[in-house]
Amino acid sequence: MSVKILLSTVSDESRRYRDLLRSDLTRRNVEVKVQEDFKDLGGETLDKLDVYIAHCDAVVHLVGDMTGAYPGERGPSALLAKYRDLPAKLPPLRAALKEGAGVSYTQWEAWFALYHRELLLIARAAETAERGPQYAPTDASSTAQAAHLAALKAVERYPGCTFTSPDSLAKYVLGGAILDLLVQAYAEEVGRQRTAAERFILEMAKKVAADPNLDFEGKKQAVRNAIDLYEREISGSPTQTNIDTIVDQALARSHSLVDAGKSGLAQAALRRAAEKMRRDEEERRNRYVAGITVLYNCERDIALATYNGEGAATAIISLAEAIHGANSELVARALNSEAETLTNMAATAAAMSISSQ
């Protein structure tokens, strides 16, 4: 599963917030788009936004005092012909179109998310929030944005936060349903087309992501519980039972061959059994490493998303020790590799932040 997210913003007002969020959210299996990505593709931008949102996982909608650009008459007319039930499903939008108030591209993005039943996160810029250099609201744009929020309120959709800085916005976006999407994506990636052990991890991680009653500490503890259960119930006793069975059967077979005067075959039988045990152990070990990695990485990501450096470090160290045990050299090598990866990510994010200013 790959996660697709649209950042819905007016660039002249909130470009810095948008670019930092894009940097924070973009990962190997997370695609983040903004409105400008669709303007140079040819055809009607509004239609391309609609198509993308229909197949994405979430829209993060930042509302300030500027509306952004408006589409021409052809775009909305084509959409109403395409979705004849749209006015009935979204009465506030129908009222706005009927009154001729106009709906900007950015405002349409929120309505597309609602129409296609995609996750919609709304964040309102505080009066004290820093704006971009092209910030130029008017009385008309401020009134239009207030009417837009009122229309969303009419369908029971409200801003989840009023942000004052990039940090406060990031904590809201990365700390809620978006984080749940990332948890589920990691779990599905590891669990796909694998054995029952990984399917167990998938189901556990899904429950962590979907539980609305868990705060961040609760999610971290749930992941930790899954790790403990996985180590105890899946990577532990069942394997030992299998090994005992293989050994007993191989010894019994070799004894019978020796008694029959077939010592060469007895040795071959023992060798085949030993090779099977080795292959089984390697497969079990690979499953264990894959499972424990996704769980500890999930714990690390939850900690990073909440700016909990100590929690992230604990998860990283625990993963290295779970994989390499008492081999201090391999543990140190794993920690150095993770540190280098995080340093490169931080440097990339800083460079993008500077270039956006």
Residue 273 lies in a domain: yes
Res 189: pLDDT: 58
3-class state of residue 76 by DSSP: helix
13: part of which helix (H) or strand (E)? helix 11-25
By residue range, what is the domain housing residue 285? 187-325
Res 256: pLDDT: 73
Q: Report the alpha-carbon distance of residue 93 to residue 196 in Å, rounded.
A: 47
State how far the alpha carbon of 116 is from the alpha carbons of 1, 18, 110, 151, in Å. 19, 23, 10, 17
Stated pTM of the model? 0.56
The last residue of one of the domains, among 130, 148, 174, is 174
Res 107: pLDDT: 96
The last residue of one of the domains, among 126, 144, 174, is 174
Examine the domain organization and report whether 34 and 166 are in the same domain.
yes
Res 241: pLDDT: 43
Residue 337 lies in a domain: no
How many domains in the chain?
2
Which CATH number covers residue 133?
3.40.50
Residues of the chain with pLDDT under 50: 191, 193-196, 236-241
Tens of pLDDT, residue by residue over 171-195, are 888 777 777 777 776 666 554 544 4
Burial 68-96, CB ≥16 within 10 A → b, else e: bebbeeebbeebeeebeebeeebebbeeb
Q: What is the mean pLDDT of the chain?
A: 79
Tens of pLDDT, residue by residue over 93-113, are 998 888 777 899 999 999 999
Residue 31 lies in a domain: yes
Tens of pLDDT, residue by residue over 194-218, are 444 555 555 666 666 666 676 666 6
Examine the domain organization and report whether 134 and 199 are in the same domain.
no
Residue 210 lies in a domain: yes
Token pair 């180590």 in the structure block, residue: 231
Contact in structure between 90 and 155 (CB atoms under 8 Å): yes
Res 285: pLDDT: 76
Examine the domain organization and report whether 124 and 167 are in the same domain.
yes
